[in-house]
Structure 1
Amino acid sequence: MFVSEHGHGPDENNLTDVVEFVLLGFQGDPQLRISLFCLLFVLFWLTVCGNLLIITLVSTSKNLHTPMYFFISQLSISDILLPVNIVPNLFYLLLNNGGTITFIGCMTQFLFFASSESFECLLLTVMSYDRYVAICNPLRYSSIMTSGYCVRLAIIFWLFSFFCAFSDTLTISRQKFCGNNIIDHLFCDLLPLREISCSDTFPLKLQMYLLSIPLVIIPSTIIVISYVNIVRAILRIPSNISRQKAFSTCSSHLTVVFIFYLTIFIVYVLPTSGQTSDMNKITSLLYTVFTPLFNPIIYSLRNKDIKKAVQENIQKYV
């Protein structure tokens, strides 16, 4: 639904104001949509419960009160916020073969989506730095990665992520859509909104490139430099057992980094002109549904401390 100022068609001084958007979601066979709903419903609750388990274990188990596990718990918070923000509305779209979302609701959804993704970029960076200090400078680790320093970093990252997401949201909200309010996507994302805008999108593109410097380029550079130094340090360790132990401390994080940046690359960097809209929607599920589910699985299955904490908590109540 959309209305025009003074009831006239859009021109330079009189552009159409969209008051709600139509999200198409997955169109087509009802049985396929119901099957997808059931699958996503199970994955959604596994994601929420898995990440809540990580947060609970880190907060209650003393052997997990370290910088690395503090950052893992922050990652779990982000991995809960992301699907909670998007998936419930996606359920509605699947059951109703599409649906509407208000303009404010759309902007709010994008704000929290962008905040979660931006925070994860920054958090994965400091987690790589944490592993760098632990392996390359272990004698100074406790004096560098103090609990106060880690908490301050987390607060700064959340605030900066929200500021960047709010800047993007504000710029998008000022775009004019000239009556085109149909979004062929699963949620309010930057690229689908930019595609239906009839305003000059150069300021939006410029802002995206500028914000990618502190959110993508610098973090990915720090991660690469950190792991280059980590690999060099590990290769200098004479003992094979010590070398394997050192590598195991950062293998889970490296796996999470690889999955996160791979999904971001597939969705936002690879050319999508040759892909169908359904293929774009499927790839978007990678980082909104599957990645938040993979993270707790990776850290729980590959981490002895997490397994030990689970066993200790089970013994308390059995």
Structure 2
Amino acid sequence: MGGAGERREPDRLAGPLPPGDRQRRRHCRLRLGNDAQTGDARSRGSPDRLRVTTRPRGSRRRSRPGDGPRSLRTPSPTIWLYGRHTVRAALQNPERRIHRVLVAQEAGRSLAESLARLLRRRAPAPVPEARARQDIDRLVGADATHQGVAIEVDRLPEPNLERLCRAAGPGTVAVCLDRVTDPQNVGAILRSAAAFGAAFLAMPERHAPGETASLAKAASGALEIVPVVRARRFAHALGILRASGFACLGLEPASPDSLAAAVARMNADKPIALVLGAEGSGLRPGTRANCDSLVSIPIRGDQGSLNVSAASAVALYELRRRGRSPSSTGEA
């Protein structure tokens, strides 16, 4: 500290800012203010005092009303489904609530009549509306293959995993997807699950596609047949399956144990949960730890691995071939 007779040096910026401080300037607001104690600071040549206000690292600005990106996170209570297979399956599903049915005028009378027959089985049922194809294009998107028909529906009610497990009979097969995010893949897996008689499909609430028109179109009606459970904690969902008597078999290309060999060692009545991971990253470590066994599908070594939807189809067929999936209502 200086003595009473010493002059106090004015505050100055000592050279350029260090690299770390230069980076932090993106998160800083600089404000210049006069010396609060002496009104004649400028007359003495003292520079303005520099005050730096920073936002704590890791903090985020609070969302404001009308912020676009955050408002998009809340799904609409209704969605538009399109495509003839998808629409027919939705009209035959008693769990679906139908609000509107649009039929392209160019689609012909046969489509309108077939939809009207399905609608007569529902009470109450909307009256089909004849529209120009361009109107439906604008509604669902010009790139969507709607085949001249679109319906506005409520989202399906969320099924309960514990209840599905209690209803599972001997040899039941379920499908679990660990962060498979492509709606086309999930739709194709749902289609295979319906074809080979899987009882239900479980996937995380996050890092998974929602109930969208593109997923429903890729599933080609299977979304109305196979219940889809969205688990807040995927590892916990696998724990519920294991506690309910399911054997969780994780598909892992590098595993020396094949799916066929693992199933052959099991009791024929043992329910199986087939667990598949995302393409590239595969199963997460926590998911592997919650599987009873890691199994593979033998393929040629120079082919690497199968697409996740192709792997699910092969695995579900193998389980069906061995007498699994008794919930199936017909041959694929």
TM-score of the superposed pair, with normalisation by structure 1 = 0.21
Greater Rg, structure 1 or structure 2? 2
Q: Which has the higher contact order (CA 8 A, sep 6+)?
A: 1
